Amino acid sequence: MKHSCGKIKSLIYAAKMMVKYKKILFLLYSARTIIQLANAYIFIFFPSMLITNLQSGSYFAAAMVVLGFVGLQMVISIISTIVQYRIEVAESEYDNQIDIIQYEKLMTLRYEQLVEPNVRNEYELSKACREKGSVKGIMSSIFSIINSIAVFFSAIVILSNLPLYVYVLITAFSLLRGISQIKVARKNYTAESEKAIAMRKLEYFRDGLTWRNYAKEIRAFSLSDFILRKLGENIDEVYHITQRYNHYITRKTWWAYVIGIPQDATIYIYNIFQVLKSKITLGHFSLNISALQQVAGSVDNILSQCISINEQLTYLNAFYAFLTLPSDNKGVNSLPQGEGVFEFIDVSFAYPGQTEYALKNLTLKIRLGEKISIVGQNGAGKTTFISLLMGLYKPSKGIITYNGVNIETIDYTDYISLFAPVMQNYHIFDFRIIDNLVFPTDEKITHDRLQAIQQVIDDLGLTKTINALSNGLETYITQTFSDEGVELSGGETQKLAFARCLCADAQVMILDEPTSSLSPQSEFEIYNRFGSISHSKTVLFISHRLASCSLSNRILVFDSGRLIEDGSHRDLIKRNGIYTNLYNSQIELFGLKISE
């Protein structure tokens, strides 16, 4: 009962979706139904009229029937082509809208949800719904059923003198075929559910490993054979799932065709006997055959479309389940006014599926304008701390507040606007340079805004690079969107990531080991330049190296998920603890010394 209610809810949802985004499809489907109905009537009556006129010697009338048939078919064909073209265009636009809806939903999900395998699997199933055209397919099937019902009852009226057992036999054969189709539909969905997990893996090869980001590693390490083997294994996995179900589906489909033979035999044998007994003329024989075939076809189509709707609703349920997946970003309050203070109150966190805490019993405050270095060995909890601060994950225990208000109650869009991060694995998009700096909306960038952007570019030493480009800030990065796009060097790309952070003009700037691939000396130079232009902002430097500590008035030392030390460089050196050991080892290794 619950399952049926879910499908009814999905059916109503499908209708609302079409009304909201492409209501013209209702009109176009109606027009196609009328055309199909008219065509069915023509094929029922034309053969009978032609044979009757030929038998009676009315050759001129027979010729007129043929001409009328040809003329009507031409008109119907032209109208049908136009309507079908409009349907295809509207359906394509509607499919694009469905894509946008899916991507919008992805954007509303918390990062913590997005990385969960079950959410990714639901997304893959919702894509199957889109690819199979479930929403528009359901509406199309409903109109097809309406057409078949009209044809069925019209044919029944024409064949009013036929005995009941003929209809019963024809309907019985159609029902037997329908049973096979139901089993096939169920297997189809089971197969798609299994394939969703395999397809998620395959997407990595299709969309990920073909990118230029991996091109150097693949060639440098001669990984082509390795990658192709992995790709082949995943393709085989999808293939075996498909084949396993295809064998079953083929058997059931073959059975449906076999059942059609006695159904056709029933139609012809009955009418042949009627002709032999002189109960009907050849004209009526043709009329009866055409009408009975329409009856059989209508019953088949009604059953087929009902099964199709049921199957599509199963996919639509997955689509609906994904779109109605509750987002953990439930805050509705505006940003609270105050001094810009963040506070962790006894916060612990374990990653999904893990029992070991990555961060344990953390209590601290971060005040506006502080320059804080967060240091520790790999796996100490530094990036986890930042992820929690930015609201990418929810604490397993404890709360995080901003100006005394739990961040879970604050609108996430407002809250995340407080931050401008440069992540360890930062990404530069293949859009224009200006797009990567400010991500403009439809609004025009003001002159003052452009001046501020130019100042950031000057401060970071990017002016010479950008001025050398023929299109300046309008230049595309790589040739993905423009043949005139350019490839930036690693250092230039890194500076662009820092520039994006500064252009955001956010309250808190976060540098999460973005310079880990550089030498300590180069890291120090970049941090020093960045620190001098970050002014009154709160800046968090995250690194297992200590180059940023010279720019900081506070240092947080993490170890095994705990905050072990908190203070200035001078204070921590005096304690002679973990920080002192890290500092002394890096002086010996790199020769960098922080002035006290």
Same domain, 285 and 422: no
pLDDT value for 1: 47
The pair of structure tokens assigned to 121 is: 């699997």
In a domain, 162, yes or no: yes
- Angle between helix axes 2-22 and 59-108 (nearest 10 degrees) is 100
In a domain, 285, yes or no: yes
In a domain, 274, yes or no: yes
Same domain, 262 and 387: no
Q: Which residues contact 1 (CB under 8 A, 6 or more apart)?
A: none
In a domain, 300, yes or no: yes
The CATH number given to whatever domain includes residue 238 is 1.20.1560.10
The CATH number given to whatever domain includes residue 374 is 3.40.50.300
Domain of residue 243, residue span = 2-323
Q: Is 501 exposed, middle or buried (0-12, 13-18, 19+ CB in 10 A)?
A: buried
Same domain, 307 and 411: no
Say which DSSP state 333 is in: B
In a domain, 243, yes or no: yes
Same domain, 288 and 378: no
pLDDT value for 561: 93
pLDDT value for 563: 95
> How many distinct structural domains can be found in the chain?
2
Same domain, 277 and 384: no
Question: Which residues of the chain, if any, have pLDDT below 50?
Answer: 1
In a domain, 419, yes or no: yes
pLDDT value for 363: 96
The neighbouring-strand residues paired with 511 are: 422, 541
For the chain, count helices (H), then strands (E): 19, 10
Q: What letters, b where the CB count within 10 A reaches 16 and e where it falls short, cover 133-155? A: bbbbbbbbbbbbbbbbebbbebb
Same domain, 48 and 138: yes
In a domain, 335, yes or no: no
E-assigned strand segments in 221-367:
342-349, 359-366
What is the distance between the alpha carbons of residues 524 and 422, in angstroms, rounded to a whole number? Answer: 16
pLDDT value for 134: 64
Query: pLDDT tens for residues 375-401?
Result: 988 888 998 999 999 998 999 999 999
pTM for the model stands at 0.66
In a domain, 279, yes or no: yes
pLDDT value for 143: 85
